[in-house]
């Protein structure tokens, strides 16, 4: 297994973005970017052994930057909607950014899908892949407290892409 890295462009605010290609011993490959943890491509063998891309998405970073459909990305801090962008925790009401009319959807305007994550190669249980980490700071999108999110993408020799999530406050 191997992990290849290539520069993939910059965000509108000038942050460098990379595209990581993970290839297993059978030739299957996953392409993941550190921008939003997006799975850009997953090529696995079809019934005849030909590699086919099974991911719906785009070919370029600018298309993902402009995307509002959350193709293949990490959503968060919260997945789904928070009605009226408000919730109460320990008796304190918190107001979040509204990005779907008055609701808060998938982490807000600049949720996990719209940030650049720290990346590193990982290996676990004989599978190689990509590890991403992101520190969401207190107040980001209106959320209280710091949150460290870790996501591992592991391509197995059985052509499975395993995604493991962990978060700590």
CATH number at residue 156: 2.70.98.10
Give domain status of residue 124, yes or no: yes
CA-based end-to-end distance of the chain: 33
pLDDT in tens, 91-126: 999 999 999 999 999 999 999 999 999 999 999 988
- Report residue 131: phi and psi, to 5°: -110, 135
88 within some domain: no
In a domain, 28, yes or no: yes
Is there a contact between 145 and 138 (Cβ–Cβ < 8 Å)? yes
Total domain count for the chain? 1
Give the pTM.
Answer: 0.94
Residue 87: inside a domain: no
- Report if residue 102 sits inside a domain: no
Tokens of 154: 């592991």
Among 55, 78, 83, 58, residue whose Cα is nearest residue 68: 58
Identify whether the C-beta of residue 102 lies closer than 8 Å to the C-beta of residue 85.
yes
Give tens-digit pLDDT for 50-91: 999 999 999 999 999 999 999 999 999 999 999 999 999 999
Confirm whether 93 is domain-assigned. no
Three-state DSSP class for 62? helix
């Amino acid at each position: 297994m191997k992990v290849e890295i290539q520069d993939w462009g910059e965000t509108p605010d000038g942050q460098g973005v990379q595209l990581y290609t993970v290839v297993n011993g059978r030739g299957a490959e996953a392409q993941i970017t550190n921008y939003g943890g997006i799975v850009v491509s997953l090529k696995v063998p079809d019934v005849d052994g030909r590699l086919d891309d099974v991911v719906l998405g785009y070919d370029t970073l600018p298309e993902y930057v402009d995307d509002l459909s959350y193709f293949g990305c990490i959503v968060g801090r919260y997945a789904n909607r928070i009605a009226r962008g408000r919730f109460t925790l320990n008796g304190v009401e918190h107001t979040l950014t509204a990005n779907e009319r008055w609701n808060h959807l998938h982490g807000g305007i600049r949720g996990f899908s719209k940030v650049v994550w720290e990346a590193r190669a990982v290996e676990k249980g004989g599978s190689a892949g990509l590890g991403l980490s992101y520190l969401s700071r207190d107040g980001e999108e209106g959320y209280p407290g710091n949150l460290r999110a870790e996501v591992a993408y592991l391509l197995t020799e059985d052509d499975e892409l395993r995604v493991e999530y962990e978060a700590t406050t």
